[in-house]
Chains A and B, each alone.
Chain A
């Protein structure tokens, strides 16, 4: 095992925190517009869990960085090129089928990732993961059940669910891409090897897709870049909205 530099850990914490934050932000767009009141409440619970995770991770990132940035400094005052979330989570809600497909693909990965992080040599990261695992277990249960309901529901819902899965599939590869940074972190026992998370993800995804009577899309060309700050057009709009007040009133307390 090797020691890792602060800036490496900082960068990795952003990758974790930003994905939770952006997905939480996306889900919160549903608030008041869900297909049924009960589901509105369920989606908000998931959004709240994700934003809670983001707060813990970004707060810790700020401490590791040591330049006085807190969770809000990192969330509201970084530009898109400094965001490190997965491309998948910034994709728009579109309709309920897209929202469920995006959530399911991410949850199935997120659970494996957080489970692995519970064994991180970094105690703070391990503690955050220990809390997140319980939340994400429930998220995955929720999104899996909906994937099955919609896939094996009506012909209309089946078609919409398949389309959503097909369209979002090209963002699934990025979750398992390793680079030099994470290889060093894995070497140091701080972060899991993403590629090692893949078999469990594949098995879970295949099983749920089968139960949903859907087709697993073929692995074609995969989009990537989010973890390095290369984003889709969507992130700029998300941030313009999210950061508006902090940017318009520099230094203000809210």
Chain B
């Protein structure tokens, strides 16, 4: 569903901030500047490779963990049509995680290593999935707001300089085009429904609005890696610009639903041609990313349990494949 500007802390030496000055590095930067695409076996600076592995795997982890909050409502979807749609949507998230792990694997890292990083808590995923889905309206709000924010972030990534990532993103964006629409449709049904349903919709908007804005990552001035990512063509539009764009398109959609935005400072600014909005609670984002969100522990437990309980199945499948190979060899020999 989406990658966040989960930049490493300033001072993290693992990923060099500067592009080098060697001939290879300058040639590489030249290709990026000419809008050439980089492919797996091409030479690339170590920082570029590491940045990509980190970003693509965070994105993949987000898709996979993102299956959980929505999966929470599949067995309780209020109609068979909604159940089928939600299943198909969550299945898409699994597919997108898979495409992204595959893209990351072209950079010389295995899925097993990436999964291990997620399960050990070393790798991050989008903060948004650490919030609970407590009512059916949350499924609407996630589709409308979270997928809406995701699409905004992902469309520029279709032009990412790294070929396999860009191709995965094109496929993902194409498939996700129904995700936001189905979410908004749920919100529409609720906001035209009973008083209880309307209240459910408003409550979901109240809880998901601010976390959705946080999905765009820290403010540009606090985002040390953004500039380098822009130079490398990994990032195309800044966190703050995307966030503003999201606010501008979403406010009228909320008005159409007859819902109230949970931000007293939200107002159209004629001079800027944009909506002004209130201050984001960056401390909350920091806390959620560092493990203190309402659901961090349960999400990780669910992933760890699935991985651990699936181990004997994965092993058995490999063992069976080996037996078959051995039998075929014996037959041929």
Partner of B94, one of A44, A96, A153: A44
In chain A, residues 92-131, which have Cβ atoms closer than 8 Å to a Cβ of chain B? 95-96
Partner of B75, one of A54, A96, A242, A249: A242
Question: Knowing A34-B306, A157-B312 touch, does A41 contact B91 (C-beta < 8 A)?
Answer: yes
The total of chain A residues at the interface (CB under 8 A) is 48
Q: Which residues of the other chain, B, contact A58 by a CB distance below 8 angstroms?
A: 80
Rounded to whole angstroms, the CA-CA distance of A39 and B314 in the bound complex is 10
Cβ B91 vs Cβ A76 within 8 A? no
Cβ A35 vs Cβ B306 within 8 A? yes
Partner of A157, one of B67, B87, B190, B315: B315
Cβ A54 vs Cβ B80 within 8 A? yes
Q: How large is the interface on B (under 10, 10 to 19, 20 to 34, 35 or more residues)?
A: 35 or more
Cβ B88 vs Cβ A48 within 8 A? yes
A33 touches B (CB below 8 Å): yes
Binding site for A on B (CB under 8 A): 64, 67-68, 71, 74-84, 87-88, 90-91, 94-95, 97-98, 101, 136, 186, 189-190, 192-194, 196-197, 302, 305-306, 309-317, 319-320, 323
Rounded to whole angstroms, the CA-CA distance of A246 and B305 in the bound complex is 31
Chain A 71-96: CB-based contact to B (< 8 A → 1; otherwise 0): 11001100000000000000000011
Cβ B305 vs Cβ A148 within 8 A? no
Q: Which residues of the other chain, A, contact B306 by a CB distance below 8 angstroms?
A: 32-35
Q: Which residues of the other chain, A, contact B95 by a CB distance below 8 angstroms?
A: 41
Cβ A47 vs Cβ B136 within 8 A? no
Report the stretch among A3-11, A23-31, A187-195 that lies at the interface.
A23-31
Question: Knowing A34-B306, A35-B306, A52-B84 touch, does A253 contact B71 (C-beta < 8 A)?
Answer: no
Rounded to whole angstroms, the CA-CA distance of A156 and B312 in the bound complex is 7
Rounded to whole angstroms, the CA-CA distance of A207 and B90 in the bound complex is 35
A254 touches B (CB below 8 Å): yes
Cβ A246 vs Cβ B78 within 8 A? yes
Question: Knowing A32-B67, A48-B87, A152-B323 touch, does A245 contact B76 (C-beta < 8 A)?
Answer: yes
Q: Which residues of the other chain, B, contact A150 by a CB distance below 8 angstroms?
A: 313, 316, 320
Binding site for B on A (CB under 8 A): 21, 25, 28-29, 31-41, 44-45, 47-48, 51-52, 54-55, 58, 71-72, 75-76, 95-96, 148-150, 152-154, 156-157, 160, 241-242, 244-246, 249, 252-254
Rounded to whole angstroms, the CA-CA distance of A53 and B87 in the bound complex is 15
Partner of A51, one of B84, B136, B313: B84
Contacts A/B (CB < 8 Å), 16 sampled = A21-B80, A25-B75, A31-B87, A31-B91, A32-B306, A33-B302, A35-B310, A41-B98, A55-B81, A55-B84, A58-B80, A149-B316, A150-B320, A241-B76, A245-B78, A252-B194
Cβ A254 vs Cβ B315 within 8 A? no
The 5 closest A-B pairs by CB, nearest first: A35-B310, A153-B316, A157-B316, A35-B313, A32-B67
Q: Which residues of the other chain, B, contact A37 by a CB distance below 8 angstroms?
A: 64, 94, 97-98, 101
B238 CB to closest chain A CB, in angstroms? 32
Cβ B75 vs Cβ A38 within 8 A? no
Q: Which residues of the other chain, B, contact A41 by a CB distance below 8 angstroms?
A: 91, 94-95, 98
Rounded to whole angstroms, the CA-CA distance of A139 and B80 in the bound complex is 21
User: Tally of A-B residue pairs with Cβ under 8 A?
Assistant: 142
Minimal Cβ-Cβ distance residue in B for A97:
B313
Cβ A160 vs Cβ B84 within 8 A? no
Known contacts A21-B80, A31-B90, then 6 further A-B pairs from the complex at CB < 8 Å, ordered by chain A residue:
A28-B75, A51-B84, A55-B84, A153-B316, A160-B312, A252-B197
Q: Which residues of the other chain, B, contact A249 by a CB distance below 8 angstroms?
A: 78, 194, 196-197
B196 CB to closest chain A CB, in angstroms? 6
Q: Which residues of the other chain, A, contact B197 by a CB distance below 8 angstroms?
A: 249, 252
Q: Which residues of the other chain, B, contact A246 by a CB distance below 8 angstroms?
A: 78-79
Minimal Cβ-Cβ distance residue in B for A33:
B306
Cβ A242 vs Cβ B315 within 8 A? no
B251 CB to closest chain A CB, in angstroms? 25
Q: Which residues of the other chain, B, contact A242 by a CB distance below 8 angstroms?
A: 75-76
Q: Which residues of the other chain, A, contact B189 by a CB distance below 8 angstroms?
A: 253-254
Partner of B80, one of A35, A38, A71, A156: A71
A149 CB to closest chain B CB, in angstroms? 4
B286 CB to closest chain A CB, in angstroms? 27
Rounded to whole angstroms, the CA-CA distance of A217 and B285 in the bound complex is 56
Cβ A51 vs Cβ B310 within 8 A? no
Minimal Cβ-Cβ distance residue in B for A254:
B78
Cβ A51 vs Cβ B314 within 8 A? no
Partner of B68, one of A25, A32, A96: A32
Cβ B83 vs Cβ A51 within 8 A? yes
Cβ B68 vs Cβ A28 within 8 A? no
Cβ B314 vs Cβ A253 within 8 A? no
Cβ A38 vs Cβ B90 within 8 A? no
B105 CB to closest chain A CB, in angstroms? 13
Minimal Cβ-Cβ distance residue in B for A51:
B84
Report which residue of B68, B75, B78, B315 has the largest number of chain A beta carbons within 10 angstroms of its beta carbon: B78
